[in-house]
Structure 1
Amino acid sequence: MIWHILGAGAIGQLFATRLIDAGVSVRILSRQPSDYYQLHLLEGKDKRTYTLHPDSIDAKEPITHLLVCTKAPDTVDALLTHQHRIYANAHILLLQNGMGQHEAVQALLPEAHIWAGITTAGAWRSEPFTLHCVSQGITEIGLLNRHNQGLPDGWEKVSPQPIAAANIQLSLWRKLAINCAINPLTAVHQCLNGELVENSVFLKQMREVCTEVEQVLQALNLSVLEGPLIEHAMQVAHQTAKNRSSMLTDILHSRPTEIDFITGYLCHQADLLGISLPFNHALLEKVKSLSS
């Protein structure tokens, strides 16, 4: 068994090292032909070096297990590039922010086993081949289109061991709700996460976002959090006070954001339900204007 990894950014590389530590063979899907490269992982005082083997776009080996860590908007195009190698009933794990791409992948690969995952692990790269793990985090994984209580092949040996989610949709919505409350506001105000709770104006706006998100969750009869969403969003903002959200990072680097798969997905669901979300719609348009 080989796990191929599509999207070897910080999170993709981090989970590549975790799979290797678990004794699983890993290949990095790459557009650039290369024999291998050395990745240096720094975690606390520990430093480990891993040899990662890329697969070029012309490789012929079938893909039976695939971890996708691309940004949500890039998912389908990235899969199409390698679709000729993907087994019809392959196991595909989408470990990404946002929602909406899961349905697109199910439509593209209807016979595949589609897994979804969320993680609070934190990592960043100081150089292309130097990775810093700042938080081991908690990872949840569940099967989307079939009944299953376990984990994908090989993941039961990963450390820290992921949680096998009985209903991954609830986990996805929980992560989406928190992301809606934090990421767009940090992008608009170009601030660190912690400033959202330190600034009274920003905090008031976060409350408005959370109130609207809860309207959608209630209409969908989804109970994803114990207690008000604003309390959980504030806690996460405190815990990640010095962090710069990925959405703000994309804005600062003039890259497309994942707003359509976070606030955009929320607003689309609200439209289907006939619910008005004026504040979130305004945030959606503002972030899209910034990223364009």
Structure 2
Amino acid sequence: MKVGIIGAGAIGLLFASYIAPTNNVTIYTRKLDQRERLNNEGLLLIRNGHKFNIKVSAEILQNQSIEQLDLLIIAVKQYHLPDLIVQFPSINQAKSILFIQNGMGHIHYLDKLDNDSIHVGVVEHGSMLLSSHAVEHTGIGRTKISPFKGCSSIVSDIITTVESENFPFIFEEDWSQMLTEKLVINSVINPLTSVYRVTNGELLRNNFFFETMKVLFNEVISVLPCKNRELWDRVVEVCDKTSINRSSMLKDLEEGRLTEIDAILGYVLEIGKRKEIDLPITNFLYHSIKGLEKRRG
């Protein structure tokens, strides 16, 4: 199968490292030096101290370079999606497309696409970008996938060739509930680790941080349609499985990049405003992250 990946960060390279051994993978990158390293040196995956060198193809992201694909995986940050969809209409040529973004602010962009099959996914793995061609799998989790439009046959066929104990998949019927549950997890872990400047696991080890986690969790689920009564246990589980990780939001702040706070807590605050529910801790964390963004660089 032909698989393309747009977004050559930690998650994009992690997916490529597991898909490429059994499929024809092309990574689309904006940087020439990254393309050269991936083509010349291959993709390096590190897991549990073991190194795996994987052959992939890499191309500069240009509209004319996006070929017809069986599956196109979009692994860019959510705030890059509007420009990507406008600037690269050839993504419509892919038979199936999978979006793996945090938050839920990107959903309305998906209706603008003509692809016959569109899926959304949430990633619970821990990963760390070590260089432009190397990624470390720091925490084994799951990838949940749900159809947004069309059938799942192509995605299912590819996943069959990829799935393993180190990279498992789960298919969900209700994409809205799936994304909502991931939004709750991101809303609790990412902002707190970013403000406290700690790894995910420190939220569990520090009793004071842990109490704040509970308060924030209760605020967030008070406005979101969560049906999973065990969701708090999932928050704790993800925190534990990725305990050595620094959250993506914290890494964005540390490296002077914009975060996805608008797509996460910004979305929660918007829902709270519609329902006329006050969310003081959520509001404090949202504005704290926005302030840290403004100070970046």
1:78 aligns with 2:80: no
Q: Give structure 1 stretches of 5+ with no counterpart.
A: none
- 2:198 maps to what in 1? 191
Determine which structure has the larger helix proportion and give its number. Answer: 2
Percentage identity across aligned positions? 30
Q: CA deviation at 1:207?
A: 1.8
Q: Is the 8 A contact 1:148 1:166 kept in 2?
A: no
Report the secondary structure of 1:26's partner residue: strand
Q: Is the 8 A contact 2:117 2:151 kept in 1?
A: no
Instruction: Provide the C-alpha distance between the structure 1 equivalents of 2:209 and 2:230, rounded to a whole number of angstroms.
Output: 23
**CA shift digits 1:169-196 (9 cap, x unpaired):** 2221111111111111111121222332
- 2:230 maps to what in 1? 226
Length-normalised TM-score, structure 1: 0.87
Distance 1:274 1:150, change over 3 A: farther
AA partner of residue 99 (structure 2): L
**CA shift digits 1:69-92 (9 cap, x unpaired):** 111111222333322x22367421
- 2:25 maps to what in 1? 26
Q: Is the 8 A contact 1:5 1:68 kept in 2?
A: yes
Q: CA deviation at 1:124?
A: 1.6
Q: Is the 8 A contact 2:96 2:115 kept in 1?
A: no
1:40 aligns with 2:44: yes
Length-normalised TM-score, structure 2: 0.85
Distance 1:81 1:261, change over 3 A: same
- 1:123 maps to what in 2? 127
1:92 to 97, 100, 105: 97
Instruction: Provide the C-alpha distance between the structure 2 equivalents of 1:245 and 1:251, rounded to a whole number of angstroms.
Output: 10
Distance 1:43 1:167, change over 3 A: same
**CA shift digits 1:230-287 (9 cap, x unpaired):** x443343334333211111111222101111111111222222332222212211111
Distance 1:232 1:53, change over 3 A: closer
Instruction: Provide the C-alpha distance between the structure 2 equivalents of 1:6 and 1:200, rounded to a whole number of angstroms.
Output: 40
Please list, as runs of the form range in 1=range in 2, the aligned pairs for 1:80-229 lying within 5 A after superposition.
80-83=86-89, 85-87=90-92, 90-104=95-109, 106-146=110-150, 151-160=155-164, 161-217=168-224, 220=225, 222-226=226-230, 229=232
- 1:7 maps to what in 2? 7
Q: Give structure 2 stretches of 5+ with no counterpart.
A: none
Distance 1:235 1:131, change over 3 A: closer
Distance 1:60 1:235, change over 3 A: closer
